[in-house]
Structure 1
């Protein structure tokens, strides 16, 4: 399965240096998503192995962003990241 994740330059550099991408609360762009992330973490702790560290957060990724023939997110569309910031779409 292929997943797509949109990340900042800093996150991309961290991934290149360490080889690992960790989700962190400070990476959540919009506070409106905090409740959804909390629910998701609770569900993952119930259904999967519990997290080793309480500061671990899921990394947002798409299997299919728009429809079955256009799975990859379109970086030209707004809403993925703050306007004017450089970003990468990781596969």
Structure 2
């Protein structure tokens, strides 16, 4: 089954995706207070499925960000970025194996 997911990233990250054709989470940008959680989550995910080549940490994505009637993250809502920072919402598909 194919599902749509969305991730919200700084605008410059979209340029990386366009240039490289691939985008992975960059550990340089993980806040130190969240590093342990990222490592724990990565280990749990690795128990279920191997990580894609070059990927160390998961990329946050939404299936339903604001409920079933408005599943996409809304960039007009506060909290995605620092005030004045430009961002993008990237949509992609994921295949779920049953």
- Establish whether TM, by shorter chain, passes 0.5: yes
What is the root-mean-square deviation in Å for CA atoms of aligned residues? 1.8
Aligned to 1:84: 84
Consecutive unaligned residues of structure 1, counting only runs of 5 or more, are none
Structure with greater strand share of residues: 2
Give CA-to-partner distance per residue, 1:48-76, whole Å, 9 cap, x none. Answer: 125655x7211111011011111011111
Count how many residue pairs are aligned between Structure 1 and Structure 2: 89
Consecutive unaligned residues of structure 2, counting only runs of 5 or more, are 92-98
TM-score (norm 2): 0.78
TM-score (norm 1): 0.83
Q: Is the 8 A contact 1:45 1:51 kept in 2?
A: no
Aligned to 1:64: 64
